[in-house]
Amino acid sequence: MHEVTLLLLVLVIASALIFDYVNGFHDTANAIATCVSTRALSIKGAIFMAAILNFAGAMVSTKVATTIGKGIVDAGHVTQLVVLAGILGAIIWDLITWYYGMPASSSHAIIGGLIGAVIAHAGPDVLHWWGLKNIVLGLIISPIVGVIMGFLFMVLLMWLFRKQAPSGLNNGFRRLQVASAALMAFSHGTADAQKSMGVITMALLSYGLIPTFDVPTWVKICCAIAMGLGTAAGGWRIIKTIGKDFVKLQPVHGFCVETASASVIMGAASFGMPVSTTHVITSAILGVGVSKRLTAVNWNVAYRILWAWILTIPAAAIMAFLTYQGLTPFFGR
> pLDDT at position 31, please?
64
Instruction: Tell me the pLDDT tens digit for each residue of 209-255.
Output: 888 888 898 998 898 888 878 877 765 555 555 555 555 667 787 78
pLDDT value of residue 113 = 92
Could you report the average pLDDT of every consecutive run of 10 residues in the chain (333 residues)? 76 89 70 69 77 81 73 75 90 83 76 92 84 76 87 88 72 80 83 81 85 87 85 62 58 83 85 77 82 70 74 92 91 70
Note the pTM of the prediction, 2 decimals. Answer: 0.77
Q: What's the angle, vertex CA 212, arms to CA 209 and CA 215, rounded to 5?
A: 80
What are the b/e assignments for 136-175, b being 16+ CB within 10 Å? eebbeebbebbbebbbebbeebeeeeeeeeeeebbeebbe
Please tell me the predicted confidence (pLDDT) of residue 14.
Answer: 92
Domain spans, the chain: 2-125+134-331
Question: 208: alpha, beta or left, given left = phi > 0 and alpha = psi -120 to 50?
Answer: left
Residue type, 303: Y
Which one-letter DSSP state was computed for residue 296? G
pLDDT on residue 66: 75
Per-residue model confidence (pLDDT) at position 57: 82
